[in-house]
């Protein structure tokens, strides 16, 4: 479509009261999932804006073309006396301020796709939450099992320590008893040896005395 001159723009008229004329300042070629519901725009073209959505997508049609579609707000510049007026937004369709519906090739599918994507995202979140909960339950059970195993090992170790301590104390008592018995036997043996020594010394003294008497007697003869 040929560009509309500046003089003609001032005379543009539209049968919907809320329509706002705008000039395309940047070319736009639709892309993505909703390309079929968007307008192809060339610099200098005039479009009639019927909806200005807060998402940054505006709805309307090109001048002299009744095909409705969506386009980025950043590629057009509002012109004419209604440039500062913003139309009301009604989800699912392009509507005028006086509530007259204008067929939107994108609205229903956008709402449906948004709902479908929301459901898919919600299902993914539920599944993720379920998986995380299962992993958390498994980790908790693993921790409980490890704790119970550690507690059991610790209990067995304490029992072993108690048994070894009792055995060690018993061995100490037996050692002390044997040491005392050996000490008593040693003292008794020493005493016996000392008695034998004294007896031998007395016998030796007696033998020497007898020998001396005999020698003296032999000397007098």
Dist CA 94 CA 110 (whole Å):
12
Q: Distance between CA atoms of 133 and 184, rounded to whole angstroms?
A: 76
User: Which pLDDT tens digit goes with each residue over 42-99?
Assistant: 999 999 999 888 888 999 999 988 889 999 999 999 996 655 544 443 334 444 444 4
Residue 196, pLDDT score: 87
Q: What's the mean pLDDT in 190-205? A: 89
| Per-residue pLDDT reduced to its tens digit, 136-153 | 999 999 999 999 999 999
For residue 57, give the nearest of 45, 41, 75 by alpha carbon.
75
pTM > 0.85: no
């Amino acid at each position: 479509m040929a560009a509309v001159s500046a003089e003609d723009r001032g005379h543009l008229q539209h049968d919907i009261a809320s329509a706002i004329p705008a000039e395309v300042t940047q070319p736009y070629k639709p892309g993505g999932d909703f390309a079929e519901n968007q307008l192809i725009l060339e610099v200098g073209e005039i479009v009639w804006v019927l909806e200005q959505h807060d998402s940054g997508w505006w709805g309307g049609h090109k001048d002299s073309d009744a095909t409705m579609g969506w386009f980025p707000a950043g590629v057009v510049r509002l012109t004419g006396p209604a440039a500062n007026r913003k139309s009301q937004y009604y989800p699912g369709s392009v509507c005028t301020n006086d509530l007259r519906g204008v067929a939107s090739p994108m609205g229903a599918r956008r709402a449906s796709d948004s709902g479908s994507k929301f459901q898919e995202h919600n299902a993914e979140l539920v599944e993720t939450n379920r998986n995380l909960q299962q992993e958390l339950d498994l980790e908790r059970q693993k921790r409980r099992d490890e704790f119970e195993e550690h507690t059991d090992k610790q209990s067995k170790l304490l029992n072993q320590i108690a048994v070894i301590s009792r055995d060690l104390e018993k061995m100490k008592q037996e050692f002390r008893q044997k040491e005392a018995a050996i000490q008593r036997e040693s003292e008794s043996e020493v005493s016996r040896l000392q008695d034998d020594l004294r007896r031998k010394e007395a016998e030796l003294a007696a033998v020497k005395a007898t020998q001396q008497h005999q020698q003296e007697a032999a000397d007098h003869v």
